[in-house]
Amino acid sequence: MVCKVARILTVELGLEVANCIIEWVAIADNANFWPQPEKFPIPMIHDVYKIVYTSGERERCDPNQTVNARESIWETKRQWLRERVKAYSASSPLTAIAMVRVFSPMQYRDRELLDTQESKSLWTILRNDLRKHFVENNQPLLPAVGHIRTGITSFVKALDDHSDYDSFRTQFTSKLVAQADQDEGHRLKIGVIFSLLRGNPPIYEKVEPSRQRTFNVGKEINERMYDMTILLEALRKWRDINFSDPLANEALKYLVKAYDLKP
């Protein structure tokens, strides 16, 4: 349905519609309107991709259009993407991360908006911006990242692929823990806890009463994501907190046991 509607839009109108959707997605509290907030905003960004990719089809298929004119349409869309990612990297990093992820090449698509090199370049720009905003310039992680359980996970996975992440992993971990300690609503703490675990089924899926959720810890992965000396000390401080989220309490108990976090 999305593609059918987008096909009748000009490129200009298609990008305008995409902008409206992204503006709504970038408002952190709107994740609560989604049936599975932990998956937000990936499904809506997939719709944005369809709109951006498909809009202007009549212009592209016009037999009077030159090859250069058709390529100009694709470049307009690529430039729009670069500008949107740059614009949202500070105010809504999860939106920017989702855009780069969804717009990057995927095997099942016939034609891509970005080629592999362009995708790598956009990831590099985004990771540099995330470092600048949230590590060097002390941009607060709330509400930009901590509003959903999986927010910290998505953020850190994007950041830890930075070519120079080893040089600022400790700095980032310290800032994250400091902000989490000050967060009376515990959203950052909960996000950090879930980022250290892999759930089966995943934490965004409900579990039937007859089925038990299991956790496991990828300690090598966690060492790459964080300075674990700092983070384990934080977990010791948090171990007696009674979160309003029962699953977070269960996850923290698992981490305390897995890392043998004695008082």
The tokens 């002390």 sit on which residue?
A: 138
* 3 state SS of 108: coil
Do 261 and 183 share a structural domain? yes
Same-domain pairing of 113 and 133: yes
pLDDT confidence of residue 87: 96
Residue 110 phi, psi (nearest 5): -70, -45
Pair 12, 118 in one domain: yes
Same domain as 135, residue 200: no
Task: State the residue range of the domain holding 230.
Answer: 141-263
Tokens coding 258? 């897995």
Confidence class for position 146, pLDDT limits 50, 70, 90? confident
**172 and 115 both lie in a single domain:** no
pLDDT at position 206: 72
pTM for the structure as a whole = 0.90
Closest CA to 73 of 16, 5, 12: 12
CA distance 102 to 168: 27
Q: For residue range 201-255, what is the model confidence (pLDDT) as tens digits?
A: 777 777 666 567 889 999 999 999 999 999 999 999 999 999 999 989 999 999 9
Instruction: Give the end of a domain, one of 82, 111, 139.
Output: 139
Distance CA 69, CA 211 (A): 57
Span 106-134, pLDDT tens digits = 766 656 788 899 999 999 999 999 999 99
Pairing relationship of beta strands 198-200 and 214-216 according to DSSP bridges: antiparallel
Of 86, 122, 99, nearest in space to 53 by CA? 99
pLDDT at 262: 79
The answer to whether residues 147 and 36 belong to one domain is no
The CA distance from 252 to 255, in Å, is 5
Q: At what angle do helices 151-159 and 93-103 cross, to 10 degrees?
A: 60
What one-character DSSP code corresponds to residue 185? T
Which of 116, 139, 162 is a domain's end point? 139
Are 229 and 118 members of one domain?
Answer: no
Tally of domains within the chain = 2
The 10s digit of each residue's pLDDT in 27-80 is 988 888 888 787 889 999 999 999 998 887 766 666 666 667 678 888 999 999
In whole angstroms, what is the distance from residue 39 CA to residue 9 CA? 28
pLDDT of residue 73: 86
Element (H, E) at 53: helix 42-54
* Residue 30 DSSP one-character state: G
Cα 242 to Cα 228: distance, rounded to the nearest angstrom: 23
Contact 189, 238 (CB under 8 A): yes
Which residue(s) pair with 198 in the sheet? 216
Structure tokens at 142: 């709330």
Q: Which helix (H) or strand (E) holds 69?
A: helix 67-91
Do residues 196 and 113 share a domain?
A: no
Asked if 241 and 186 count as a contact pair (C-beta separation under 8 A), the reply is yes
